[in-house]
Chain A
Amino acid sequence: MVEPLLSVSDLKVHYPIRGGLFGRPVGYVKAVDGIDISIAPGESVALVGESGCGKSTLGAAILGMTRPTAGEIRFDGKPVIHGEASRARNLSRDIQIVFQDPASALNPKLSIGESIAEPLAIHGVGTAAERKTRVEELLGLVGLHAGHATRKPNAFSGGQRQRIVIARALALNPKLLILDEPVSALDVSIRSQILNLLLDLQKHFGLSYLFISHDLSVVRHFADRVAVMYLGHIVETGATQDVFANPVHPYTEALLSAVPLPDPMAQRTRRRIILKGDLPSPANPPKGCKFVTRCPLAQSVCHERQPELRRVAHAHASACHLRA
């Protein structure tokens, strides 16, 4: 097996809830609660789940932007140590992030050329002239013109700004890109342009992607493997094709059936599972299986013990007491 580029084991990120007179922790939000995930070079892994499931926190922990409570993150064989400034800097050459909203991810006062050159300047890469050449090259890579470099972000549309953000993320030749909902804020007719660009770049540079999204059709199109998260836990993981074709966990099944298909005939005939109730608050999750409050199959065992992630088929695992 190929040595994974990134491996996360038993990662926990707990945020204290402070209260009382002295602001002592009165509880914890277990945003990420014991997660294992690995990404091979050139692979795309998607994290899927609804708001509050911990997918963005996991992304932030991998980037070194938030300190894990427990567990280990290894990148390229070396442990990622959080908080140590020099370390974090080295890491940021190799791991970069593209956020959902390109409008707020770019400094409106800087020309886009300056924004793209910023990571190079911070890491002391090249002379000013070399950086300028690199910026032009990067703009070309993402389908913009070298002449655009002097303009401010407000001269660009949402899709173009996302291209600029991608160019900046590529400036230091990273190995892993974290894509946090990269097309959700874009117009529908622009999304496919950006998805195609990301797939092309991956082919070209052998990039690995951690793709964070709630849009299952995009995930199905984009990712090699998928991990479905619910309240800080992975409830199902496997090759994208397998998970989408044969979802095992009742949550995955409900999530897939909730996606409205752009096909009215199919929509009318397919079986839909409509979950009852809301996502529980991550500050006050249920005992036992986290999905128990909304699960149509729940039995008494589900209220008592939390199910372990178990293998159900080759490279396909699910955490459910009832279906394994």
Chain B
Amino acid sequence: MSHPLLSVDELRVTIGGQPVVDGISFDIAQGEILSLVGESGCGKSMTAFSVMGLLPRAARLSGGRVMLDGTELSALTETELQALRGNELAMIFQEPVASLNPLMKIGRQIEESLIVHRGLEGREARRAAIDMLAEVGIPEPEIRAGQYPFELSGGMCQRAMIAMALICRPRLLIADEPTTALDVTIQAQILDLMKKLRDETGTAILLITHDMGVVAEMADRVAVMYAGRVIETAPVDALFARQEHPYTRLLLKTIPRLDGEPKETLPVIEGLVPDIGQWPEGCRFSPRCPLANDACRKAVPPLASRRDIGSTACWHAEQVGAI
């Protein structure tokens, strides 16, 4: 395998001294879709913001490295990062309407990165922006380019944001819950569009989501996070076929399925997602885990390689299938 496009190594982020991302590592190859899955507070969005160099002011990158194709992003200055953002690196967010500038016409917002990064001018940039809007499936792109975000529906705004993110053909797109705020039929359109663009442009995607259905639909590989750490990684088929971490296994079992037995009592994960700063000693899932014993409560299980295709952080990985 050639060297990865993005490589995150032992990344640590703290907010007010409390760790929120606690030493996570993963790679993404060119053209690959890696899905980062987890529940609220697990650190998945902070991980994305660290890669973009867009951590909120209160948060601090306290350790680790982020490498994009050999360049250490975490060592760049703000100016150097700005040259990359919107160019080699792009991001789309959950709330498309809130993430667009309400006072700027759609077309203008898309042109901006072409003007900044590619030095294109007026008419040329406008033409490219309209083409891009058409490419993401917006009907009547000439008219839409001249409209403001409030004149577009949520799904259209998300398409406009994707157009904005992809106009400079980034090598890595970070998508943070890109369809969570959208209706199911619109979600299907957007997921389809993202896949198509990946196939055509070879853009790698870091897809952050809590929806296992979206993971199954989109991902090549999956990294599951819990309480600031990656607890399991595997290619998508292997992960859904066999989970080696109790959290992943239970998470998949608790979801009601379209082909399941109706009204049956669903399996539950006991207890609560621990709050940031309240993470338990040892394995952080141990208070909720049916397999936990004293060893789990004392020592943190390392993320160990599993059958050469992925890795798991569990002392009892071989017993997980029995849950």
Instruction: Bits for B42-74, please: 1 = Cβ < 8 Å to A, else 0.
Output: 000000000000000000000000000000000
How distant is A8 from chain B, measured CB to nearest CB, in Å? 24
A192 contact set on B, CB distance < 8 A: 254-256, 266-269
Assuming the contacts A221-B256, A260-B191, asked whether A187 and B186 have C-beta atoms less than 8 A apart, the reply is no
Instruction: Bits for B177-212, please: 1 = Cβ < 8 Å to A, else 0.
Output: 000000111111101100000000000000000111
A263 contact set on B, CB distance < 8 A: 216, 240
| Residues A276-314 near B (CB distance < 8 A) | 277-279, 294
Task: List 3 tightest A-B contacts by C-beta distance, closest first.
Answer: A260-B213, A221-B256, A50-B183
| Residues A204-243 near B (CB distance < 8 A) | 214, 216-218, 220-222, 240-241
A274 contact set on B, CB distance < 8 A: 185, 188-189, 192
* CB pair B217 A260 closer than 8 Å: yes
A86 at the interface (CB under 8 A from B): no
With the chains together, A195 CA to B264 CA distance in Å? 10
* CB pair A255 B266 closer than 8 Å: no
For the complex with contacts A159-B272, A294-B185, 20 further pairs of A-B residues with Cβ separation under 8 Å are: A50-B184, A157-B273, A188-B211, A189-B250, A191-B255, A192-B254, A195-B256, A196-B265, A196-B266, A218-B256, A221-B260, A221-B263, A241-B262, A255-B184, A255-B185, A260-B211, A260-B214, A260-B217, A264-B236, A275-B185
* CB pair A196 B268 closer than 8 Å: yes
* CB pair A220 B184 closer than 8 Å: no
Tell me the total A-B contact number using a CB cutoff of 8 A: 139
A199 at the interface (CB under 8 A from B): yes
* CB pair A189 B187 closer than 8 Å: no
B210's partner among A188, A258, A261, A275 (CB-CB below 8 A) is: A188
How distant is B106 from chain A, measured CB to nearest CB, in Å? 15
* CB pair B216 A262 closer than 8 Å: yes
B323 at the interface (CB under 8 A from A): no
A69 at the interface (CB under 8 A from B): no
B98 at the interface (CB under 8 A from A): no
Counting contact residues on chain A (CB < 8 A from B), the size range is 35 or more
* CB pair B258 A188 closer than 8 Å: no
B191 contact set on A, CB distance < 8 A: 260
B101 at the interface (CB under 8 A from A): no
12 A-B residue pairs with CB within 8 Å: A188-B255, A189-B250, A195-B256, A214-B183, A217-B258, A221-B263, A222-B262, A244-B258, A257-B188, A260-B214, A262-B255, A275-B188
A66 at the interface (CB under 8 A from B): no
A265 at the interface (CB under 8 A from B): yes
A259 contact set on B, CB distance < 8 A: 184, 213, 258
* CB pair A217 B255 closer than 8 Å: yes
> Which chain A residue lies CB-closest to B154?
A51
A190 at the interface (CB under 8 A from B): yes
B167 at the interface (CB under 8 A from A): no
Assuming the contacts A199-B263, A199-B265, A274-B189, asked whether A267 and B217 have C-beta atoms less than 8 A apart, the reply is yes
